[in-house]
Amino acid sequence: QQNELNSFLWTIKRDPPSYFFGTIHVPYTRVWDFIPENSKKAFQQSHIVYFELDLTDPYTISALTSCQLLPQGENLQDVLPRDIYSRLKRHLEYVKLMMPSWMTPDQRGKGLYADYLFNAIAGNWERKRPVWVMLMVNSLTEVDIKSRGVPVLDLYLAQEAERLRKQTGAVEKVEEQCHPLNGLNFSQV
């Protein structure tokens, strides 16, 4: 039953009440039907909504992209063991080959091309830090490719907040997410 689901919604008792809602970074269509009505109602009634990051801000997206890169002059081939780099390269060639068959007719109807999608996800992969390449590879599956073009839950809620003219903000800066990940050593990654 919808009303019995764990809502990941906490109420901060004040007047007016505040809410804290835990989201997940997956296409919203995978989870939307499982978000209880009390969470959706709290969102609808809210006038101000804060997110982890402001995914509607071009600076945020640009800073996220920049923080993933290795220092100037370094390439992934320089930092990965040769065998891992070769396996990664072969895997990405396989994904690029398979991607046209993984795409949905709806994606094609919206003008998405497999080469464009591959480059949007994996472009410049040889300049990325290993931790970001690992996250990228984890998202290069048939299921994830089929859902490309559908915003993740955070972005969907941010877009809805803007559409509903709610005041929005972010509780973190890109650097607060990037530096810890970039600080992992190779064996941790």
pLDDT at 97: 96
- DSSP conformational letter for 3: G
More confident residue, 35 or 188: 35
What's the confidence (pLDDT) of residue 25?
83
Which one, of 91, 80, 111, 96, lies nearest residue 145 by Cα? 96
Angle in degrees, CA 139, 140, 146, rounded to 5: 90
Q: What does the pLDDT read at residue 20?
A: 87
Look at residues 35, 45, 42 and name the one whose alpha carbon lies nearest to residue 8.
Answer: 35
The tens digit of pLDDT for each residue in 78-112 reads 999 999 999 999 999 999 999 999 999 988 888 88
Q: How far apart are CA 98 and CA 114, in angstroms?
A: 9
**What is the share, in percent, of the chain residues with pLDDT greater than 90?**
58
Element (H, E) at 163: helix 153-163
- Residue that has been written with the tokens 């907040």 in this structure: 161
pLDDT at residue 139 greater than cutoff 80: yes
What is the SS3 assignment for 167? strand
Chain Cα centroid distance, residue 70: 20
